[in-house]
Amino acid sequence: MSSVPAPPLAPTPGAPRLDPKYLPLAATVSLFVAVATLGGLRYDGFFSAQVFLNLLIDNAFVLVVAIGMSFVILTGGIDLSVGSVIALTTMVSASLVERHGWSPLATIPLVLVMGTLFGGFMGLLIERFRLQPFIVTLAGMFLARGLCYLISIDSISITNEAYSELAQIRIPLPGETSLSLSAVIALVVLALAIYVAHWTPFGRTVYAIGGNEQSARLMGLPVRRTLVGVYALSGLCSALAGVLFTFYMLSGYGLHALGLELDAIAAVVIGGTLLSGGVGYLAGTLFGVLMLGIIQTLISFDGTLSSWWTRIVVGALLFVFCILQRFITARGPNR
């Protein structure tokens, strides 16, 4: 009598299974917890509330610019101009406040509008003429950085009393800890960004464009308006990050935020957003920024390692997350 082969075992009903698209985010959170635990076990004072709050305080402007970059990358684009827009914002702010006697309350809205229009203009070029985002934003990077030196080739210190008071505001928290105004602003921006990305038509269209732009057009989604809006949002976030940077440095300089666009991209990728677009979470961007910050803090606590080890570790992490992304994109049906 011939035997009939037994059918393959079906997966156990109700067994938890992690969707591959969550792997980078899960890896980032797990790695952050592991590094924090390692630091706490190795160095006295590392595992304290204020040390972790300092990650937000020191990287508030990075978080804000990475949020804008997240929306761009979710559409499958890129924005290389963000660091230069931050520098331009610091120069315009410092020049208006120090040289022309403007109030910070008038200067800050102006530079936010400036950044939004700058980003929106690049988005219009990308959408209208079907240009590559890499080339357009590269041109924007050179343009914004060059405009800084039309204002001044030297650093402009901000000594305005009102500006200094804003920079020194600390919000007290339980346990003798505190947060800076910049960190609070960054967290508010993050909360708004999460809401926009996951609970508004604009956010759903961003994800649809990143998944398949042609399909999004066929579904009647406002692809053209959304693409322009995404780059305008990135410009707004860059300008706001520039304002927070002036709180942090109390100066404007054409060399401020040099290479920060690469840090923002690294934070977004480490946070689990696919460079091909369509998959990613703003909460992941937060952990990507915190990951960069905790590596710097760990090296600082060690005291024997060069700060360049931060770049080495981040580079290694990016290689790992690129491999994870390749694994995810290879399993297209699960996206």
Report if residue 265 sits inside a domain: no
User: Using one digit for the tens of pLDDT, what is the confidence trace for 8-59?
Assistant: 444 555 545 666 667 778 888 998 999 899 998 988 888 889 999 999 999 9
CA neighbor of 239 nearest in space, from 109, 55, 134, 124:
109
* Positive/negative CA dihedral, 225, 228, 230, 233: negative
Vertex 107 angle, CA 233 and 259, to 5°? 50
Q: Identify the three-state secondary structure at position 44.
A: coil
- The percentage of the chain sitting over the pLDDT mark of 90, rounded to a whole number, equals 73
Report if residue 108 sits inside a domain: yes
* Two structure tokens written together for 162: 């009102």
CA distance 305 to 282: 31
Report how many domains make up the chain.
1
Q: What is the CA radius of gyration of the chain?
A: 22
CA distance 20 to 129: 35
With a CB cutoff of 8 Å and minimum separation 6, the contacts of 223 are 205, 209, 213, 216, 217
User: Using one digit for the tens of pLDDT, what is the confidence trace for 197-208?
Assistant: 999 999 999 999
Strand pairing class (251-252; 156-157): antiparallel
Q: Which pLDDT value is given to residue 327?
A: 77
CA neighbor of 321 nearest in space, from 266, 259, 260, 262:
266
CA neighbor of 86 nearest in space, from 40, 145, 44, 134:
145
Report if residue 127 sits inside a domain: yes
| pLDDT higher than 80, residue 183 | yes
Report if residue 331 sits inside a domain: no
Q: Identify the three-state secondary structure at position 171.
A: strand
User: Using one digit for the tens of pLDDT, what is the confidence trace for 279-310?
Assistant: 899 999 999 999 999 999 988 888 777 778 88
Report if residue 137 sits inside a domain: yes
Report if residue 317 sits inside a domain: no
Residue 218, domain extent: 63-259+273-280
CA distance 98 to 112: 18
Q: Which pLDDT value is given to residue 13?
A: 54
Report if residue 300 sits inside a domain: no
Q: Which pLDDT value is given to residue 1?
A: 44
Q: Name the pLDDT band for 335 (thresholds 50, 70, 90).
A: very low
Report if residue 320 sits inside a domain: no
CA neighbor of 227 nearest in space, from 109, 98, 124:
124
CA neighbor of 287 nearest in space, from 41, 34, 48:
34
Single pTM value for the model = 0.91
